[in-house]
Every structure is written in C-alpha cells, then in structure tokens.
Chain A
Amino acid sequence: MWKTVLRRFLIMIPQLIILSMLVFLLAKMMPGDPFTGMINPNSDAREIARLRQAYGLNDPWWVQYCRWVGNMFHGDLGQSYIQHVPVASLIWDRAVNTFWLSLLTVLLTYSIAIPMGISAGRHQDEWQDQAIQIFNYITFAVPGFVFYILGIWLFSFTLGWFPISGSVSANASGFWGVLGSRLYHMILPAILYALITTTTIVQYLRTGIVDNKVEDYVRTARSKGVPENVVFHKHILRNSVLPIVAFLGNTITGLLSGSMIIESVFSYPGMGKLFLDSISQRDYTTLTALILLFGMLTLLGNLISDILLSIVDPRIRVK
C-alpha cells in the first residue's frame, strides 16, 4: 500500500517541475513585468530600468526561474499589478469562497448520484432506469453554461427564489446570519453544478451494479440461500460503490475547471471569477499564480484519485 503511495508521489515530482516551467514560460509570454504598473507620466525611465536590474529581470531565464520557484516556497507569489496587494492574500479570500462552493457541490453530487445510480442499476430497464437514463442524457448533452443560464433565468430572475450574484449579503450579521446568507447564495449554483457532475458517477455505478449482478460470487451467494436483500446490499452494492469513491479526485479536478463558468454566471467571487477578472484587467502576476494553483490542485486531485483507487481495489497496487 505505502509503496503505491510513495511511487505515486515520486511520479508527481517531475510533473510538478514541468508544470512550473510551463507556467513560468506562459508568464514570460505575457506582456509587462512587476514595474509596468508603476509607470506613469512622472516616473523616471532610468529609475525603472535600475529597479528592473536590481530585481534581476535582466538575468538569464534559469536564474529567474529558480528565484521564482524559491519565492514560491516562501509563500511569496508576487505583487498584483492592479490591486497593489500581495497576490497570495488576494487569492486566499477568493479560494475560501471557491472551497465552500466546491464542498457543497461535492456533497450534493454524491448524495444525488449514488441513490440514482443504485436505483438505475437495481431496476435495470424498468421505468426508474429509463427515467434516470433520460435525465443522464440531458445533463450530459446540455453544455454546462447553458444549463446554468437557464437555471438562473428560471429560479432567480423569473421565480425570484435565489439571489442573482455574490456570496454573502452585506447586511448579514452574526455567525448564523452569515452562514445562512452564504448557503442561500450557494445553493442554486451548487445544485446546478452538482446535477451536471453527477452524469459520470451515475453511469459508472449503474454499469457496476449491472455487471456485478451476473458475477459468479453473486450466483453462489444466491444458491446458498442468502436473502435477496442481503445479496444486493452486501455483495453487489459494496463492490459497485467502492470504485465511485475513487472518483472523488476527478470530481475535484472537474470542479476547478468548471468553477470559472459557474462563478461567471452567478458572479460568485471565487477563484474562477478572480481568474477571469485578472485576465480582463491584464493582472498577470495574479494570473500566473492562479494557473500554477489550478495545475497543482489538478495534480493533487489525480493523486487522491489514484491513492483512493489503490485502497479500494488491491489489484492495482505495486507488489
């Protein structure tokens, strides 16, 4: 077990290095440097050139790369061009919002997908299964942003049940007030987002149950006289649900890349929205830090997935 985890960690190191190099390259492709924001009609061109020299912007790229990586280890992600605050603190505020939205989405995703998958698998080809298949087809076929737009149009604008933007009301006070307001703002995006993410899990669970139903060990259990309910819950379900757990990592990864669209539609102040704002304001230090963060979180999601899978399914462990 530990061997697999260790091996998986070792694979991650070169991936992380290449990822950081790529992001650095991307950052160098972006116009401007940390002093571009300071240039104004009164600034002295020679002073800026001196600052550039002093901060090592004329050094060869590998020196700059090493310094950049070094700074990052100290938690220094640079200074935002536009907002003139450290990028790390800027991202932190938004990351908290994205974290809560993602957490609620993951909880909803699994609590919607697992009963649906079980019902579809248990009642294969009956009406429950057919209804779930239709639902699954819709959530798979409709592009996410169209789904969100239709959702916000129906529930927020037309019915007025939910707010159309933000994360917490300005006049919310007290612990419960803030929590309630937060939930109220998150619930619609989280539900819509969760419905879109359920597709794979439902499909996977259904296929797992359908396949396991005809396995030899199930037939053996039945012929020994084990009651049908026990056969389903102890034998079939356990073997089908476990692989779903491993999807958690993929779900996290998926949520990150989707956060941009959902946060844009709901004007939710999370990391995805920050990314889009930074791009339109040409705030390149923030952008670079965010891409690196997205990349690292994706790596982490994959790591979690693989480790969970090796816990759940002993066959893929390294001997």
Chain B
Amino acid sequence: MSNKKKSTQTKQDQTQVSLPPSGFKVAVREIWRDKIALTAFIVICLILLLTFGGSLFLKKSQVTEINIAEAYYGWGQAGHIFGTDDGGRDIFKLLIMGGRNSILIGLSVTAIDETLGLLIGLIAGYFGGTVDAVIMRIVDFVQILPQFPIIIVLTTVIPNYNAFVLVGLMSMFYWTTTARLFRSFVLSQRGRDYVLASKTSGSSDWKIMFREVLPNITSMLIIDVVLTVAGNIGIETSLSFLGYGLPITTPSLGTLISFANDPANVVARPWLWVPATVLLLLISMNINYVGRALQRAGDARQREN
C-alpha cells in the first residue's frame, strides 16, 4: 500500500511541470502582464498606504472634534487643503480616516462572507442530497429578503450600535451569493475521477473537501474576494450615505459624500463632497478593474481546459 502510494507520488512529481500553476500564481502573473491592471493595482496600494498610513498619525477624537468657529473654510484656507465641514472639521483628515474605515469594513465583511460562503458552498455541493436541499432553501430564503431595508431598520433598533454591529449585519445577508457560486462549482467536481479516487482510497470527506477540492477553487476564490470587497465598500458607503451605516461619530466616505444631498452644498461647497467622491471612485473602479482582469484570465483558462 505504502509502496503504491510512493509510486503515485513520484509520478505526480514528474508531471508537476505540466500541472496548471496555483490560483495565486496565475493571479500575480496576469496582473503583471496586463499593464492597466498593474497600474490599477499600484493605485490601490497607494490609496491603502495613504488611508491606513495616514490614519496612524491621526487621532479620531481630534479629527471629529467640533469647532464651529472654523466651519466651511474653502479649498486651502487656513491650512486646510480640502477645507472644513459644518463642524469645522478638516475634510482631508476626515477623508483619510473615512477611506480607511470604509475599506476596513469592506474587508471585514468580505472576510466573514467568503469564509462562511466557501464553507457552506463546499458542504452543500459536496454532500448533496438532503444537506444540499436544506441549505439551498435557507439560501433561497435569505436572498428573497429585502436585505437593504432590513439592515437599515436593524441599525436603528439595535442598542449600542457600532461599527462591529454593522459588519455583523452586512455579513448576515451577503454570504449567499458566494455560497451559491462555490456550491455549483463543487457540484460539478464531486463526480470527477480525482474525488472518486480519493474516496475509494479511504480519505475522509473533510480531507477531500479541503485538500482536494478546495485547491481547485483558489483562483475562483481570489476573483470573488476582489469583486466582493469592491461590492461591500459600495454597500457600506451607500448605507452611510443614507445615514444608516457607520455611526455619525465615525467618519466614512459615504457620510462625506452625503453632504451633496443638501442642495446648498452641491454647487456652493464642492470641497465637502468632491474629494470623497473621487476617492471612492478611484477605490471602486481600480479594485473592480483588477477583479475583471483576473476574471478574464480565469475564463480563458477554463476555455483551454
């Protein structure tokens, strides 16, 4: 038995050259090749550096401190590059902190949702039958809920509402698309020879799921993570824009853009909302571009197979 295993092991080593590279390597290679995607990636890195690095030098209590005497300074007045808002807060500092918060929320929700979705999708797709049926009914139900209104109501009725609650609320609803995606993929894999072979040789279900099937998903997972991060940043900023995302005391890009909701600000005080709008556009469009470049690469690879 052990001998046999050894021989297959060496065989695998020999064929290593022609095996497709891992999802992560493909991702790096694709980004490197596509010069626009590379630029987009560099821009994302610069934004991360600016928002996360800049936030290290800022104190939340100082940034959000209200000082009416300095309200509504314009571009570059009194040392405020992007002016100040109605409470005399420096827009540039709010922008850096808000950008960091929005990205952080997007990342946290994505981390939870992708883990949850991957796990549930793997289980549903791999086991099939009743397990799959039950899980998919739950997924169906969560998907037909009016998620956006429910989140908004919950943000107002939950006591001690804070950023963590927001992450929890968003994660509660948005794992279903990921679960669906991976379930359908695993469903197509469970009848494949490598799964059956592993099963016949006595591997446990969990081992097959995580050691055999999971590696085949990595490139899909990377694409999904990238696109979901952009999507979640969009959802958080939309909620904050409406006034039901991050608490008012926590800066967010959405809250800054919502200054444009007041007709008095739109034309007369563009410094309030234009910088945040531009930053959000940069974040969203660049992340999505990278995601799409990866997706194209993934599609091309699938076509080759």
Contact = CB atoms under 8 A, between A and B. Distances in A.
B108 interface: no
Interface stretch (A49-57, A108-116, A291-299): A291-299
Nearest to A294: B146
Contact of B144 (A138, A149, A298): A298
A22 B281 CA distance: 36
A279 interface: yes
Contacts of A144: 234, 238
A285 to B, nearest CB: 13
Interface stretch (B150-158, B162-170, B195-203): B150-158
Contacts of B242: 260-261, 264, 276
Contacts of A261: 238, 241-242
Nearest to A12: B144
Interface residues of B, number: 39
Contact of A146 (B146, B148, B280): B280
Looking at chain B's contact residues, the main secondary structure is helix
B148 A15 contact: no
B234 A30 contact: no
Interface in B250-283: 254, 257, 260-261, 263, 266-267, 273, 277, 280-281
B241 A298 contact: no
Contact of B156 (A15, A141, A279): A279
Contact of B267 (A140, A158, A257): A158
B149 A294 contact: yes
Contacts of B141: 15, 18
Nearest to B236: A143
B288 A137 contact: yes
Interface string A281-309: 01000010011001100110010000000
A298 B284 contact: no
A69 interface: no
A60 interface: no
B148 A257 contact: yes
Contacts of B72: none
Contacts of B277: 146, 149-150
Interface residues of A, number: 44
A257 B156 CA distance: 18
Interface in A233-267: 256-257, 260-261, 264-265
Contacts of A138: 285
A29 B157 contact: yes
Contacts of A299: 144
A142 interface: yes
A9 interface: no
B1 interface: no
A257 B154 CA distance: 16
A149 B273 contact: yes
B263 A164 contact: yes
A153 B145 contact: no
A216 B123 CA distance: 37
B238 to A, nearest CB: 5
7 contacts: A26-B157, A30-B157, A141-B288, A144-B234, A256-B146, A264-B242, A291-B149
Interface of B: 140-141, 144-150, 152-154, 156-157, 230, 233-234, 237-238, 241-244, 254, 257, 260-261, 263, 266-267, 273, 277, 280-281, 284-285, 288-289, 292
Given A26-B157, A144-B238, A158-B267, 5 more contacts: A138-B285, A140-B288, A157-B263, A257-B147, A298-B146
